[in-house]
Chain A
Amino acid sequence: MTAWGLAWRTIARSPARSMLAVAGVTVIGALLFNMLLLSRGLLVSFRDLIDAAGFDIRIIAAQGSLVHREPIADAASLADAVARLPEVQRLTLVRSDSAQLLVPGRAGPGFRVAVVGTTGAAAGSVWTIVRGSSLPSSAVPGEPTPLIVSPRIASELHLEPGSEVRLRLFVAGTASALPLVTARVVGVGAFAFEAAGDDTVATTIEGLAAARVAPADAAAEMVLVSSRPGAGKAAAAAIAALRPDLRVLSNDQVIEQFNENAFSYFRQISTVLSSMTLAFAFLLIATLLTMSVNQRLGEVAALRALGFPRRRIAANLLWESALLVGVGGAAAIPVGGLLAIVLDRILRQMPGVPTRLHFFVFEPRTLVLHAALLGATGVLAALYPIWLATRLPIAATLRREILS
């Protein structure tokens, strides 16, 4: 009989105990799996989100941050200069404000919305049209401000392409009394970075300026740039040379910043919890195996007396550990997947988290890491019981077993 065959028989001889041990490994393994998913989940998800937006360079003012952006001086001339760069394929200016959105003829305070003003190239990236059409490439004088609304706003206010709404912008930090501006819904769009509970609308830069009752100066707080294939670094360098007073960030740099600041807490938590989970699994498997060996000292001594070498006894125990950890670890994956859905749903309730951002994201390498960590833990946990079993004094143990 092979070592693993004997190990299997040993485990199967106490089905209740073995099933409970496997259940324990499954649950702890599922938690470990989740923590490994969490360690890179935000990073992977955010990268997908950023890359899917279709732009690979972001230009912001040197002051402020990616989240709290300051206006860019001379944004219009910057846009012209950048657009002329041979490495650049397309760009869009972005400016945001908040506003109150009202439907004519309907009572109530209306919706508080975030307003994103862009130039035409944002279509298909900052938002994805669900129905209707995108914003026109330039404003038509005399026409109502064109608007893209989110599906939630469209659903709550029963808006369709062609519906007319009123918009009043807020100016942060002051009591303001800007007039209501008429806007027409041209399309319903899903906004890539919209958080749950947020409501976003988009219009043209000119439309936003009109709502501010300000000249259409193409003021912007961010410029999104899409470079030609393979020309990302060159484009970034060229833009930085054009305007050294601004910060030019590639997607990788954006992700790195978020990784270092916003995501680092979850990475640390995942490291701490992963370590604790492994320590827990180690402790429990070692205790189970040690107790199992202590219950079978007579058998072990008899096997040694019959001529079974130490390495065979060690191999049996290693296989016992491997079977417990292996079966439990395999079952941990689907359980961990379900748990990830639950934990992801909890964490995504945080304010400001885009609905398309996930904390737990599956990568094949996670499976490999999970297996390796659990495997190593199983081996380490078996070391002390192996030491006990291989070092027991055969004669004294036999004597004790006979007398007991």
Chain B
Amino acid sequence: MNTPIIEGRGLTRSFAMPAGVVTALGEVSIRVDAVDYVAITGPSGCGKSTLLHILGCVDQASAGSLAFEGREVGALTESERSRIRLTRIGFVFQRFFLLPMLTAWENVELPQAEAGSTKADRRARTGELLDYVGLTDRRDHRPAQLSGGEMQRVAIARALANRPALLLADEPTGELDEETGAQIATLFDRVHRDGTAIVVVTHNPAVAARAGRHLVMKSGRVIST
């Protein structure tokens, strides 16, 4: 059997609040293989983003185990987890989080430089990605000069910069209109077809419909798949 990209068992995440302990995630188990395109839906506050952050090694579960490509994440150092996020996982956020003082080109190039890619490789890869997302002619524009959809496409190109095995997207169409959201959804299809596993948290039924698997969450638990 192929090693899953990510496998979580009994994942629990609790937060200590002034009013008491809040369990955002309650014993969730999930497996994502290399060919998977998973959509996670549910009402606000059900723990979707919390699950995504744990899968992306951005947050750590209070209980349970998580393995990324067979490696136990809980046993890794922060430095090792950073390295996984940089080279094996791509993140797309609802609010894009592009660096405002860099151009589209520079935003996409930045993670490659951090990963140690050569200048020639970075140039080739960045050009390829901007072409991939249809923004070659906007390469020298700063985020303030781009529309919401364009910014999200740059963010997707950035997430793919180091050829990750897994793309995690947290409400990628949350700030976009319906038409632009559909464009982003189409782009995700293409990314998936080209071999990248995707886990997307979304409220958008159109995006969720394109996924091969659908997890529905409620009150911190997966209620249907």
Contacts and interface: CB of A to CB of B under 8 A. Distances in A.
- A is bound by B: yes
Interface stretch (B49-57, B128-136, B190-198, B217-225): B49-57
A1 B111 contact: no
Contacts of A2: 113
Given A395-B58, A398-B58, A402-B94, A308 B49 contact: no
Interface residues of B, number: 36
A13 interface: yes
B100 A305 contact: no
B114 interface: yes
B101 A12 contact: yes
Which secondary structure dominates where chain B touches chain A?
A: helix
Given A306-B86, A306-B91, A309-B79, A395 B97 contact: no
Contacts of A306: 85-86, 91, 111, 158-159
A393 B99 CA distance: 19
Interface string A360-397: 00000000000000000000000000000000011100
Which secondary structure dominates where chain A touches chain B?
A: helix
Residue picked from B58, B86, B115, B170, most chain A C-beta under 10 Å = B58
A9 interface: yes
Contacts of A299: 97, 99-100
Residue picked from B94, B99, B113, B170, most chain A C-beta under 10 Å = B99
A10 B111 contact: no
Interface in B97-146: 97, 99-102, 106, 109-111, 113-115
Given A299-B97, A398-B93, A305 B49 contact: no
B65 interface: no
B82 interface: yes
Given A305-B58, A307-B86, A402-B94, A1 B50 contact: no
A305 B56 contact: yes
Give the interface size class of chain A. 20 to 34
A324 to B, nearest CB: 16
B158 to A, nearest CB: 7
Nearest to A300: B97
Contacts of A1: 102, 106, 109-110, 113
Interface of A: 1-2, 6, 9-10, 12-13, 298-299, 301-310, 312, 393-395, 398-399, 401-402
6 contacts: A1-B106, A13-B101, A306-B111, A307-B82, A309-B78, A401-B95
Interface of B: 49-50, 53, 56, 58-59, 78-79, 82-87, 89, 91, 93-95, 97, 99-102, 106, 109-111, 113-115, 158-159, 162, 170-171
In the A-B complex, list the 7 residue pairs whose CB atoms are closest, starting with the nearest.
A307-B86, A302-B97, A307-B85, A13-B101, A395-B59, A395-B53, A309-B82
